[in-house]
Structure 1
């Protein structure tokens, strides 16, 4: 490989939207909860 054709990644990573295939959101860029849900209280045992 020559020095001029080396890949240089961007300094700030940005999320590119899904391509729209069969599983477009399979690898999302976050690991948080996707829905809010109350835990505990009446009815939960």
Structure 2
């Protein structure tokens, strides 16, 4: 599988996530609490 993402901490407390194969493509921006919620959701789904 070729599923890779990159994450970068930005100023202002944001986190940018993008497809590492499309460096010129869009990024999804998360606040710290939103990122924590996203990870909790992914972890919960992985246990199901």
**Taking structure 1 as the reference length, what is the TM-score of the superposition?**
0.22
Q: Which has the higher strand share?
A: 2
**Taking structure 2 as the reference length, what is the TM-score of the superposition?**
0.22
In our comparison, the structure showing a higher alpha carbon Rg is 1
